[in-house]
Structure 1
Amino acid sequence: MPGRGLMEGMELPHHEDVSPGSGSLPPRAWYAASDAPTLPLDGTWRFRLSPTADAADESFAADGFDARAWEGIAVPGHWVLQGHGTPHYTNQLYPFPVDPPRVPTENPTGDHLRTFDLPADWPSDGGATLRFDGVESCARVWLNGTPLGDFKGSRLPHEFAVGPLLRPEGNVLAVRVHQWSSGSYLEDQDQWWLPGIFRGVTLLHRPEGCAGDYFVHASYDHRAGTGTLRVDSDVPGRVTVPELGVDAATGETVAVPVRPWTAETPRLYDAVLATSGERVPLRVGFRTVAVEDGVIKVNGRRILFRGVNRHEFHPDTGRAVDLHTMRTDLLLMKRHNINAVRTSHYPPHPAFLDLCNELGLWVIDECDLETHGFTVQQWRGNPADDDRWTPALLDRAARTVERDKNHASVIVWSLGNECGTGRGLTAMAEWIRARDPDRLVHYEGDRSCADTDLYSRMYADHAEVERIGRGTDAGGPDSRRQLPFILCEYAHAMGNGPGGLGEYQRLFETYAHLQGGFVWEWIDHGLTHPAYDYAYGGDFGEQPHDGNFVCDGLLFPDRTPSPGLIEYKKVIEPVRIEGEGREGTLRITNLHDFADLSHLAFTWSYEVAGEGVADGVLPVPATGPGEHAEVKLPPAPTRGSGAETQWTVRAVLADDTPWAQRGHVVAWAQLPVETGTVLPVPGGTPPVRDGGRITLGPASFDAHGTLLSLGDLPIRDLRLDVWRAPTDNDNGMPWRPEPSLATRWRKVGLDRMRHRLDAVELGDGSLTVRTRVAPAASDLGLSTEYRWQSDGSRLLLTVRVTPEGEWPVPLPRLGIRFGLPGAHGRVRWFGGGPGEAYPDTRAASLLGVWESDVAALQTPYVRPQENGARPDIRWAELGGLRIDTDHAPWLTARPWTTEQLDAAAHRPDLTPGDTLWVNLDVGQHGIGTQSCGPGVLPPYELHAAPSSLSCVFSLTTP
């Protein structure tokens, strides 16, 4: 019950009232510009912070108040990122007592003042509107001492009529913003709580006869190839589309031949809505969205979402995101084959949707609504099922739909996120369908799908998704099995990962009504911090908090792509290139939903031992969407060389596009021809014992058979290694009842293995060292044999491992670790690259010869963890040592130990030492996505089993 502690009959203050506010104009369509003047009010405002909602009186809003002693603050912006208080991160929990609609007395309240003059050419006729595009979480507004009203709905626009209040000079705009309000109960959205005026404030002239609200209806008939256009407008006028020869009255329907809008072919037509007082530019995209036979279709064709969830975020400015950053996000998405965005969990800045229209992305536009924290009370008191809150929910739905309804990119409305179920959501769905029947309605939280047009889930594992695809999933009404299905969140991109992407994608491509998903999420929300590099939950002393769960994106906070984004690009590439390298035949499948392959050029290169020896252009027909072509490669330039050879075929942009330049790689494949020869085995040189030392060719060992040096190169602590610094996915979800994989590893003792020497045996041509590697307090063990041989200049190591006992957990890794002098320098290798890869995240690993410095081999996850492995190593050169192997192990090289990596909480905790620590792993456990999803799939689990690794060590040539 709202206000349980409130005396009956007591009136709540405006910030605790359940109403959406007062004084605002009705919501309407947003547009960036018209020929009517506007005055942006962004910039430096005067600011005062009070600890409570009533600590400071409202005299600051009075005309003539002197605020010169106040500090300055940037608007748009958040005061907690400008030296006034601190941010607070929670995923689910409310950071205040749950007693809706009441909030704590300790309620930081920011008073903002902005003085402005009207431009000299500001028209004297007509009215004016003051627009706020985003304020968290509740604002009260005055202009020139006159109260305008108050509002909630942080990520939604609010407008006030202010024409009669304006004066040519010295206008004073006063805004009081409360961090906490009844609206906060509706905005529990897994992000930083960041109060302030974080989107623009604008004064708009509203001339007589100006365009009010308008609704562009632009559908497409794929059978006839015609578009149908009707623009409904509050104020009558005319609509012109010069390119199409359209000149029609508002409300009139016209049909003309057009090219349709899709995310792949985002064709827009420039138009103008002209009323007697205003001309508004329009960009019209013709497209039709429908569900047919249980499949979402646009313009008559099934679509497949290759999507991401996107919060608005910048590491310096929080949710105050500028146009350049928005464009950067979308360019990165397009360049990584992403075709869809779910605007989690609120409408983005409307300019972002303009860019989606222009560049081409499908959008699920989500309402500014989440009440996730009520799960702690088993949804008791949930506003989504309380009639008193329904007006606030409907207000949020209306402000979302009315603002964004004229964007062609928006094809689905989402009621919100993680709000349970209830009458308020049903009311929202009914209102949206009545207002806009031409789009679909989404909401994940209702498994009955009573209020939705599609079935949506979060983090369903592969097996369940396949059952849904087959129509054999249990539970729910039969009608749900007739709906299209999406994973609105999947593949939790927290830290190293996500794994298992390819297996999901194969399911999406196999079953027609599995229509893809949206990776959680786009960017790590690490806030710039002088001590931590990037801060996450708890770094500001806030309680409660959810730690680094806020860093779960495909981009690092500085918008550098993570290995997860590179992997996702490869998995979702819209062209599949398959074939047999020896035969020289290719099958090229076009996985686009609409575009043929005419916008792509295909190239080939032929590599010997990882180095290109020839390249050329591959003619490929303009294959249609969903079709394939058989293509022949040219004759192989070399055969029978004994070296490893392969083809690499790439699909690249044939011409510049708005989102990437000509030559940008869209898809690729590598096709092996010859696998190469087996390495020669050094041998023939006997080991010699001399006191406490053993020599074998160029190598020196101590009496226990521990390698000390190779020639003049010292080598430290070469031994079997099974431990890795747990990834976020290894650490799992703290709210799950079962222990995480990392917890189980530590319980077994894999982080504190002990090494026992059993024998040192000198043979005629080898040195054999037998050990047992085992955790304390356990009878489990790994019987390990190191066999060393030399031909006088090189050193061959063969490691054989035999498990003892019944191992209850998979191993993190299995291989050897050793140290080389110096923590810096270059690393060169023939194997997978250029970035890291693990068993279930290796689709994007490209076989070749790569070079990097040691620092660049480290993947800079915000919370340090296992990273940087390069797979399929044939040879590597680092720290003066060359390693050759035919076992294709993983290579990791770090300027710190695994133990130091494990202990670090932030990047600056890691300081390079004087040793380069090298791991060669015959096996690595997979990554999975269990930080908020399914674990590692069985094929990628590393179980204790008899294993071996061979490698040849030699000194590099200076």
Structure 2
Amino acid sequence: MEKKYIESFYPPSSHRLPARAFYIPHATEQEALASGLYRASTRILPLEGKWKFRLFESPYVVPAEVSLADFDDSSWDEIHVPSNWQMEGYGRPHYTNVMYPYPVNPPKVPWENPTGCYRTRFFLQNQDFDRVHLRFEGVDGLFQVYVNGHDVGFGYGSRLPSEFDITNIVHVGENVIAVVVCQWSAQSYLEDQDMWWLSGIFRDVYILKRPSTYLADVRVTALLGTDGLTGHLQVEVELGGVGSANEIVPLRLKLMDSDGNHKMLEQTSFCDGVATYETEISNVRAWTAETPNLYTLLVSINSDTSCAEHVALQVGFRRVEIEDGQLKVNGVPIILKGVNRHEHDARLGRALTLDVMVRDIQMMKQHNINAVRTSHYPHHPMFYDLCDRYGLYVLDEVDLECHGFVLTKNWDRLSDDPELENAYVERLERMIRRDRNHACVIMWSLGNESGYGRNHRAMAERARTIDPSRPIHYEGETRRLLELGSDLQLAVMDVYSTMYTPIDELSKLGDMDLPKPHILCEFAHAMGNGPGGLKEYVELFYQKRRLQGGFVWEWIDHGIQAYTDDGRPYFAYGGDFGDEPNDSNFVIDGLVFPDRTPSPALLEYKKAIEPVRVLGFDRSSGKIRVQNRYDFLSLDCLVAHWSIQDEQSVLASGMLELEPIAPKSIGEIEVPCTELLHMYGDRCLTLTVRFVLPQSTDYAPAFHEVANFCEHMEPSDWTAGIDVYQSIGRFQVIETDTTIRIRDDSFSIDFDVHRGKIALLGYRGSAIITSPLSMSFWRAPTDNDDPPNRDMFSVANVWRDYGVNRLLESVLNVQLQKSDDIVRVSVVSRVAPAGLSWGMVLRYEYVFTHGGFIMIRVSGMPEGAYPPTLPRIGLSTTTHLDFVHVNWFGRGPGESYRDSKESQLIGRYRASADDLYTPYVHPQENGNRADVFWVSITNKYTEGLLITSPRTLNFQVSRFSVEDVERARHPYELEARPWRYLRVDFSHHGLGSASCGPGPLPEYQLRTEPFEGTVYLAPFARNEIDESLLRRMVTERFASF
């Protein structure tokens, strides 16, 4: 490949065919209407499979002979196409977020430039072709194509298609394709997205067999009238291969609804190569993300001849506009409940299959997501067909990012360079021409993080010329206005856009009297354990009319499936392949794990954006006040399942049909529960209402839960009944210089006088607490506590600077009081870090009574120059490995933290202790359960320990120490200990999203200030008493203390 092409932003001639809409031609009308996938067409010859492959270190050492038809490639390896060659064992994946992985000297790239050479063969029969096209849907890197030794042309723009006419080169029989792909070129400066650098033919490549006159392009504009019923349809058909200006070509257009009913049939002809047809369709069913009604448009030429060609397109009638400062679809303001989506698979890299795309979209719909930003490039063309069908709004983004120039202090260098205007505009135009027929695409985005300059203005002007029906987005203009402190009047873009904007700043932006809407193109950075505070963002969208939602960053963790030397699997990230420089685990920042398992964050986002918002519950009438947050659907599209449960079981349940509460309206639902609430008023009760689909859809089964509501009610009367835990045998207290031993016939407690702590708790011969029950203030930092990006604020480093991770406790005083059946121990201690003077005075009050019941009340008073916040405040100990069964009443079943807990409802749950662990790709704090009224751990003999409190608690059970988790880079580095760590916390610092954004909101921060907390411990046997009854008993026992 010649250097002039490698180092050109806008090569003079690539011999590509003009960009066109994505569609598959068919030989017959029946085939076109029956086929949902292009592989079903007889006009397609797919070329995926095994190709011959060799990787060279530079394009300048590739032998010229590799392009020849008779070149001997028998010694070459085979590689699967489509794929990224790094995922197939050639070269290595390389991850950077901002930095270019080569010297920044545009348009130059290094001589060392991995270059992949591909070769394959295909066969043509006599009747196969009048015209033959070769189409690549995506090749990452600049590439040159040869067929039968002839130079066909070259392609660039990695996530854009390149199509070539090879009619005059191919012949009947065997034909040979050779493709040379350079990893780096001048184009790479425009493709510096936050993702793995992966190369090769990663999307479909195929032969199109076409008649001599064929459909070169079909452009469809389907707009909904302001009456909401009239569809305005414009179809522009462009022919290719027209023999002469006088050739008459019959054209037929047929529009059908989803039931196959004809809405339009038009037969005409044209001879000048282009035909435009316009009509109005009455009583159309509008397309929205909530109501994805589609029609099929069949476009046919030469229908009654052997030269026929038929194309079937999905058509959705809808209208997108900016009006009165709001983004509207069909005249209705919408809220974008979106997500940024990169194309990534842990095994396939960016070579996604249709099944993976379908799975992504179904999961998004199941979790109430209604919009996707194609960050930061056009996605596979089939993805848009799926978004049309399933119903997702798409912010379609140009394959353009030059973020690395921010490190050169000249971020606008390329974007404001007039010599690159054509390169910028061409990328935009190719995207629009490919995707403009899709109803799902509601906005064009001019790229990402490329500074701001004249080339963006040129792109916007061109976009409005090609397609005036859609608004234009680019965050860079809003960013520039904010940096300049100007009056925030957008000159070019149609929407204000910011990323990772803190809640308080976003609220101020929402209050401004501006003529255009505001969206968050990125927010709530979903890296590791987090983000926290999703609820507050979404509620702000509903409070401020100009704030119309946003896109969480991002959909999936970009982990790559890897294995240790001894075969243990893990997901790799930056640096794991020896790739330098790298940005470590900053690429692990999705709502789903690399294997597409939902993370706790996805469940929390689903809850925050649920379309049914419960505003209140009146216990006296059983009425629930609800807000319908759908934009287009009335609430009778769902049914409600309700249940009343106490701490042991469900007392009553039922189904409710919902009233047709209009979109964006408020109404009431009456649950027949008032008699039950009165009848069982002496119990802890929970009302749970689940709003579910009444029947299956294409994305979820019947009774799939869409939204929920939970109301917990504590009783006013705590009468527990008979105290079955009366003293068994004699209550003994034995004092030595080091230990206070308290026991009867069922339990034994050792209190370490020197440490001022419970050292051992046994019950019926089983040791439950096996190490000192100690105060703890440290947690293994989350990615939001301790971002790998050094430019971001690390609260974990603040904590480390203050020595919170190395606190030592000194006992100052121990006092003992005892009676016949009560022992009280008071302890004063001071905890402080080595080398620093600040500390915290701790006062413990222990009360031990018959049955092994224990009360621990601890208070803390900070003194000196202490840190502003703390990671956690709580107690920790260890227990025997046999205590594997965990039961609790509180939020569950998944993990929860103070600013990320709404998705976890109050209820009674049980789990294996090992299942409480959340397998984050980068080990960190995990597995907490918040707002817990009681928790128990038991062994197989049902013996165990109940922990409860006058207030709700947090708890964790784990095989891993905090220190081990903090040190580990991957889960396989964690060593499961031969015991379990039991942690009970009074409070945790919030999660926030400071890995790339704001930290926890003030109300979720754990401030360093005086505190007090109380826990009750009670050993018991589950086959003798239920935890709910035991909780009442132990609470009564210590009520007077």
TM normalised by structure 2 equals: 0.88
Give the partner amino acid of 1:155: R
Q: Give distance in 2, aligned partners of 1:173 and 1:551.
A: 37
* Equivalent of residue 258 in structure 1, options 284, 289, 294: 284
Deviation, 1:759, is 2.2
Q: Give distance in 1, aligned partners of 2:416 and 2:952.
A: 58
* Equivalent of residue 926 in structure 1, options 990, 1000, 1016: 990
Of stretches 565-574 and 221-230 in structure 1, the one that deviates more from structure 2 is: 221-230
1:187–1:369: 8 Å Cα contact kept in structure 2? yes
* Equivalent of residue 46 in structure 1, options 36, 49, 52: 52
* Equivalent of residue 777 in structure 1, options 812, 830, 835: 835
User: Partner of 2:626 in structure 1?
Assistant: 588
User: Partner of 2:700 in structure 1?
Assistant: 660
Of stretches 420-429 and 748-757 in structure 1, the one that deviates more from structure 2 is: 420-429
Deviation, 1:392, is 1.6
* Equivalent of residue 306 in structure 1, options 337, 341, 349: 337
* Equivalent of residue 637 in structure 2, options 590, 599, 603: 599
Q: Give distance in 2, aligned partners of 1:876 and 1:234.
A: 69
| 2:744 paired with 1:693 | no
Of stretches 406-415 and 667-676 in structure 1, the one that deviates more from structure 2 is: 667-676
Secondary structure at the counterpart of residue 716 of structure 1: coil
User: Partner of 1:452 in structure 2?
Assistant: 493
User: Partner of 1:81 in structure 2?
Assistant: 87
User: Partner of 1:345 in structure 2?
Assistant: 376
Secondary structure at the counterpart of residue 502 of structure 1: helix
User: Partner of 1:730 in structure 2?
Assistant: 785
| 2:401 paired with 1:404 | no
Q: Give distance in 1, aligned partners of 2:658 and 2:312.
A: 41
Gaps of 5+ in 2: 28-41, 240-248, 269-274, 303-307, 482-489, 939-943, 1024-1041
Deviation, 1:774, is 1.5
Deviation, 1:91, is 0.2
Deviation, 1:632, is 2.0
Give the partner amino acid of 1:159: E
| 2:155 paired with 1:123 | no
| 2:299 paired with 1:273 | yes
Secondary structure at the counterpart of residue 746 of structure 1: helix
| 2:574 paired with 1:516 | no
Give the partner amino acid of 2:1011: P
The 5-angstrom pairing of residues 446-485 of structure 1 reads 446-447=477-478, 448=481, 449-471=490-512, 481-485=514-518
1:475-514 CA deviation, whole Å, 9 max, x = no partner? xxxxxx2111000000000000001111111110011110
Give the partner amino acid of 1:568: Y
Q: Give distance in 2, aligned partners of 1:392 and 1:932.
A: 30
1:558-601 CA deviation, whole Å, 9 max, x = no partner? 00000000000000001112322522221121100111112200
1:525-551 CA deviation, whole Å, 9 max, x = no partner? 000110260010011111111010000
1:370–1:418: 8 Å Cα contact kept in structure 2? yes
1:341-390 CA deviation, whole Å, 9 max, x = no partner? 00000000010110000000000000100000010112267222112222
* Equivalent of residue 709 in structure 1, options 756, 761, 778: 761
| 2:422 paired with 1:391 | yes
Q: Give distance in 2, aligned partners of 1:420 and 1:193.
A: 21
User: Partner of 2:652 in structure 1?
Assistant: 614
Q: Give distance in 1, aligned partners of 2:561 and 2:60.
A: 32
Q: Give distance in 1, aligned partners of 2:526 and 2:683.
A: 38
Q: Give distance in 2, aligned partners of 1:283 and 1:671.
A: 45
User: Partner of 2:242 in structure 1?
Assistant: none
Of stretches 530-539 and 773-782 in structure 1, the one that deviates more from structure 2 is: 773-782
1:582–1:673: 8 Å Cα contact kept in structure 2? no
Secondary structure at the counterpart of residue 370 of structure 1: coil
User: Partner of 1:172 in structure 2?
Assistant: 176
Of stretches 239-248 and 751-760 in structure 1, the one that deviates more from structure 2 is: 239-248
TM normalised by structure 1 equals: 0.95
User: Partner of 1:478 in structure 2?
Assistant: none
Q: Give distance in 1, aligned partners of 2:126 and 2:868.
A: 75
Deviation, 1:678, is 5.9
Distance change in 2, residues 1:334/1:381 (3 Å): closer
Deviation, 1:823, is 7.3
| 2:17 paired with 1:17 | no
Give the partner amino acid of 2:750: S
Deviation, 1:683, is 11
2:859–2:1011: 8 Å Cα contact kept in structure 1? yes
Give the partner amino acid of 2:5: H
2:636–2:657: 8 Å Cα contact kept in structure 1? no
Secondary structure at the counterpart of residue 876 of structure 1: strand
Deviation, 1:82, is 1.0
User: Partner of 2:948 in structure 1?
Assistant: 884
Give the partner amino acid of 1:894: S
* Equivalent of residue 27 in structure 1, options 19, 22, 33: 19
2:473–2:497: 8 Å Cα contact kept in structure 1? yes
| 2:478 paired with 1:424 | no
Q: Give distance in 2, aligned partners of 1:165 and 1:12.
A: 25
Gaps of 5+ in 1: 1-10, 473-480
Distance change in 2, residues 1:812/1:193 (3 Å): same
* Equivalent of residue 212 in structure 1, options 211, 216, 223: 216
Deviation, 1:845, is 1.5
2:96–2:194: 8 Å Cα contact kept in structure 1? yes
* Equivalent of residue 355 in structure 1, options 386, 401, 408: 386
Q: Give distance in 2, aligned partners of 1:399 and 1:76.
A: 22
User: Partner of 1:5 in structure 2?
Assistant: none
Of stretches 399-408 and 18-27 in structure 1, the one that deviates more from structure 2 is: 18-27
Q: Give distance in 2, aligned partners of 1:143 and 1:717.
A: 75
User: Partner of 2:931 in structure 1?
Assistant: 872
Secondary structure at the counterpart of residue 871 of structure 1: strand
The 5-angstrom pairing of residues 358-369 of structure 1 reads 358-369=389-400
Give the partner amino acid of 2:548: Q
1:292-311 CA deviation, whole Å, 9 max, x = no partner? 01101110100100000000
* Equivalent of residue 118 in structure 2, options 103, 112, 119: 112
| 2:451 paired with 1:433 | no
User: Partner of 2:1028 in structure 1?
Assistant: none
Kindly tell me the number of residue pairs found equivalent between the two proteins: 938
User: Partner of 1:185 in structure 2?
Assistant: 189
Q: Give distance in 2, aligned partners of 1:512 and 1:856.
A: 43
Give the partner amino acid of 1:740: S
1:742-799 CA deviation, whole Å, 9 max, x = no partner? 0000000011110111222211231223322221222222222332223321322323
1:134–1:157: 8 Å Cα contact kept in structure 2? yes
Secondary structure at the counterpart of residue 760 of structure 1: strand
Deviation, 1:641, is 4.5
Q: Give distance in 2, aligned partners of 1:759 and 1:582.
A: 50
Give the partner amino acid of 1:838: Y
1:187–1:371: 8 Å Cα contact kept in structure 2? yes
Secondary structure at the counterpart of residue 863 of structure 1: coil
User: Partner of 1:947 in structure 2?
Assistant: 1012
Distance change in 2, residues 1:596/1:434 (3 Å): same
Give the partner amino acid of 1:793: G
* Equivalent of residue 527 in structure 1, options 554, 557, 560: 560
2:412–2:453: 8 Å Cα contact kept in structure 1? no
Q: Give distance in 1, aligned partners of 2:146 and 2:648.
A: 69
Q: Give distance in 1, aligned partners of 2:434 and 2:817.
A: 81
1:610–1:644: 8 Å Cα contact kept in structure 2? no
Deviation, 1:210, is 1.5
Deviation, 1:165, is 1.4
Q: Give distance in 1, aligned partners of 2:194 and 2:174.
A: 41
* Equivalent of residue 966 in structure 2, options 882, 886, 902: 902
| 2:284 paired with 1:246 | no
1:102-126 CA deviation, whole Å, 9 max, x = no partner? 10011000100011112x47534x2
2:923–2:970: 8 Å Cα contact kept in structure 1? yes
Give the partner amino acid of 2:430: R
Q: Give distance in 2, aligned partners of 1:500 and 1:679.
A: 38
Of stretches 153-162 and 532-541 in structure 1, the one that deviates more from structure 2 is: 532-541
